[in-house]
Structure 1
Amino acid sequence: MIRTLVALASLWIAAPLAAQEADYAAFADFLDTYRKQNNTPSMSAVILRDGAIVWEGYFGTWDDERDFPTNADTTYYIASVTKPIAATAILAESLAGDLDLGAPMSSDGDWAEFCTYFRGTAIPFMGGGTDMSGHPIPLVDCAKPTTLVEMLDMRANADSFVYNPIAFARIDRVISGSGGRDLRAIVRDRILEPAAMRNVALGWRDPEQGDALRLMTMPYHVEDGAIRKQALSDDDFRASAGMIANPRALAAFDIAYDRGQLVPPAIRKRLIEGVELGPLGDYRLGWFLEDHEGKRLMWHSGKDDQRYSALYLKVPEDRLTLIVLANTEAIWKDGASLVEAKISQNPIGAQFLEDFVEAE
């Protein structure tokens, strides 16, 4: 009888595991097919569940000559996926008493002139307009006494969020202008070291960049069906972008963040349970927030125009995370709304939710 129960239990355990492996294999096939359809030489991805990597996928080749297969060490420019990491570091610095989140954007001495100039341009998150879904985008409000913490919530334009990476990129100047430390030092001390993130460069001028640049895949742009190698961006590290990393390094951040090792668990809990979302979702503390099938999503996209793209998607209730990096725009090639958090606009995000997230 005991042997029978043990055998039945073994079958019960094996069946879900086999189903999960099949799901991962199907998702891997989807990603590699998507990569090939979008002429992307290199793509890397990891899935985390319950605080551990449960699946990794490395597709294509990462070198110029297409001789070396993409692997776990291959690094990418992660573009705006830098934002939730930088925002978490800034929160940690504030909680340690070394930074005032109430510092105004005007702590950057050039903010008023900078803001006024860009407000008069056709750049939508500064000059206003409508987004891809027809939603109105308010102009940036240069007279608004936006504070640092409000900027982390993307509130430079209005009381509701408007995704404004140009304003967000001034955060390091706000910090230094209000007497704070260099942002690179803050991120290294508050995030990279405690989370044990390895082979990460905080921009091109990072004096401790390690092997991140040596292991970096070059960017490509697809135009009229032809793939063309691109020059690397010379933008340095900002709160808005600039990190160079592989998915395992981002997974280390994800694990440490969920464990409460970087900022108190109450902050994560408030994003999941304490922020009431309207029909367009929200943006708080470096994360897009959205409800999907009764479950809160935390996510960020990244796009370095004509070079790299990235996706970082969390389903906290299921303790589930997806991270995908590529050396073309393929992951987020069609862009996203500036005033609506909608992961279904992204084919990879939508497929992941369909495959792995059950409705409540």
Structure 2
Amino acid sequence: MPLRPPIAALSLVALLGASLPFTHAATPPTAESAAITRFDDYLAGFRREHGIPALSVAILRDGEVLWEKGYGWSDDEGEVATTADTTYSIASVTKPIAATAILAEAAAGDLDLGTPMGADAGWADTCEWLAGSQILFGRGGKEADGTPVPAMDCSRNITLRDMLNMRANGDGSAFVYNPISYARIDRVVSGAGGRELRSIVRERVMDTAGIRDIALGWRDPGGGSALRLLAPPFVVEDGKPRKNTMSDDDFRAAAGIKASVRQLAQFDMALDAGKLLPAEWHALIFDAPVAQAAGDYRWGWFVQDWNGHRLAWHSGWDPERYSAIYLKVPDRKLTLIVLANTEALWWGNSLVRAEVEASPVVATFLAGFVE
């Protein structure tokens, strides 16, 4: 039997030029329709320019899906079209979802946010290793533009509350994005006698929001069709996509979820409807003042003020595999979700500044839908 040709043998024009819409929730007003058309054209061009095989987007307004679309193909032979149910590794966009579940568990009285990170038996060794490593958010130093990054201080009694706010570095007065330390949160919870993090997220978020077929890591027994519908990762070399291997990392508070834009939209709607967290938590995360010009990281979210608007967001980056953007504009009741099966959505984020407008995709979105 003859073998099918590999992706390199396919027409890249056919592969990267196609964009296949999926269901629209409603016909938007004329002004929004024009903004959607412009953003649609931009994303189609962005995808072609960056050689992204599969790209999915959803925009929500007032708690409903305003527009959603899939571009390209979710396999390596150009035969399986991207749909609303195509799943991706969402990388660090896992963080706000895990944090929401942890806060809900704490609100129910089943978890103490004051639990020390030392409840994880391996925390001390991890902290000392990071602080002595060449990793910038561990040893400290300066970013490429000279912005200081304080080192981790392993002598401090860093708590679960500190870690959910990325306060593991320096004296904890300002955030430093520290994903390796954040990835120890599940061990802290179980080490203090709490439930497995996967069970907490499944019950407090997925079941409450009615989200099905989402995989909380490779080993999730409740993952349903998430892995079957997963768009494989690609690395782009010389403008051409090449299928890459899958990461074997399982679920942690820092990363690991495999989800579609439709499932993340369900999470967003449930969060804004008050189904997942008490109202006071929603206000604390999204409405409380941001004291520092560099923005903040609070309870699993980057938060910043931009041109008179509050922005709450998270990005996801699985190097040479996947990338993601999840942005909320609370005063406009507006949300953007974009997922890709390459790293093209990542923009080299700062460790100590919240500046999502530096993303070209987000900048284009803000110009069209907010400004």
Into which bin does the TM-score normalised by the smaller protein fall?
A: over 0.9
Which residue of 87, 110, 113 maps to 1:98? 110
Q: Is the 8 A contact 1:277 1:290 kept in 2?
A: no
Match of 2:369 among 343, 346, 356: 356
Taking the aligned partners of 2:31 and 2:329, their CA distance within structure 1 comes to 20
Alignment of 1:157-306 (within 5 A): 157-158=169-170, 159=172, 160-306=174-320
2:271 & 2:134 partners in 1: Cα distance?
Answer: 37
State, as a whole percentage, how many aligned pairs show the same letter.
54
3-state DSSP of counterpart to 2:157: coil
Please state if 1:25 is matched with 2:25: no
The residue identity in structure 1 corresponding to 2:259 is A
Q: How far apart are 1:225 and its partner, in Å?
A: 2.6
Tell me by how many angstroms 1:277 deviates. 2.8
Matched, 1:71 2:71: no
Which position in structure 2 is the counterpart of 1:319? 333
Match of 2:348 among 332, 335, 339: 335
Opposite residue 84 of structure 2, the aligned amino acid is: A
| Deviating more after overlay: 232-241 vs 61-70 | 61-70
Correspondence for 1:145: 157
CA distance in 1, matches of 2:229, 2:352: 36
Query: Does the Cα contact within 8 Å between 1:128 and 1:138 map onto a contact in 2?
Result: yes
Q: Is the 8 A contact 2:92 2:314 kept in 1?
A: yes
C-alpha distance in structure 2 between counterparts of 1:291 and 1:298, whole Å: 9
**In 2: Cα distance, 1:318 partner to 1:63 partner:** 36
> What is the alpha-carbon distance in structure 1 between the residues aligned to residue 303 and residue 132 of structure 2?
29
- 2: distance between equivalents of 1:258 and 1:277? 24
User: Matches of 1:273 and 1:40 in 2, distance apart?
Assistant: 35
In 2 relative to 1, CA 130–40 (structure 1 residues): closer, same or farther, beyond 3 Å? same
How big is the shift at 1:267?
1.3
Which residue number corresponds to residue 119 of structure 2? Answer: 107
**Is the Cα–Cα contact under 8 Å of residues 213 and 222 in structure 2 kept in the other structure?**
no
Secondary structure of the equivalent of 1:194?
helix
For 2:146 and 2:339, how far apart are their aligned partners in 1? 29
Measure the CA separation in 2 of the matches of 1:49 and 1:62: 27
Whether contact under 8 Å (2:101, 2:204) holds in the other structure is yes
Q: In the TM superposition, what is the alpha-carbon distance from 1:98 to its structure 2 partner?
A: 0.7
Secondary structure of 1:85 counterpart: helix
Q: Distance in 1 between matches of 2:289 and 2:137?
A: 23
**CA separation in 2, counterparts of 1:74 and 1:63?**
10
Aligned-partner residue type, residue 368 of structure 2: D
Q: Counterparts of 1:226 and 1:122 in 2: how far apart (Å)?
A: 32
**AA at the equivalent of 1:185:** S
What SS does the corresponding residue of 2:94 show, helix, strand or coil? helix
Structure 2: distance between partners of 1:136 and 1:89: 32
1:16 Cα deviation (Å)?
8.0
Q: In structure 2, what is the Cα distance between the partners aligned to 1:225 and 1:134?
A: 31
Letter in 2 for 1:141: D
Q: How many Å apart are 1:197 and its aligned residue? A: 1.4
Counterpart Cα distance in 2 of 1:131 and 1:314: 27
1:124-139 alignment runs, 5 A limit: 124-139=136-151
Aligned partner letter, 2:96 = P
Q: Which stretches of structure 1, 4 residues or longer, exceed 3 Å deviation after superposition?
A: none
Kept in 2, the 8 Å contact 1:41–1:62? The answer is: yes
Q: Using the alignment, how far apart are the partners of 2:95 and 2:80 within structure 1? A: 30
Unaligned runs of 5+ in 2: 1-26
SS of the residue 1:344 aligns to: helix
Secondary structure, in 3 states, of the residue corresponding to 2:266? helix
**Helix, strand or coil: the match of 2:46?**
helix
Contact 1:46–1:56 (CA under 8 A) maintained in structure 2: yes
Q: Is the Cα–Cα contact under 8 Å of residues 218 and 248 in structure 2 kept in the other structure?
A: yes
Is the Cα–Cα contact under 8 Å of residues 290 and 303 in structure 2 kept in the other structure? Answer: no
Kept in 2, the 8 Å contact 1:84–1:300? The answer is: yes
Distance 1:225 1:186, change over 3 A: same
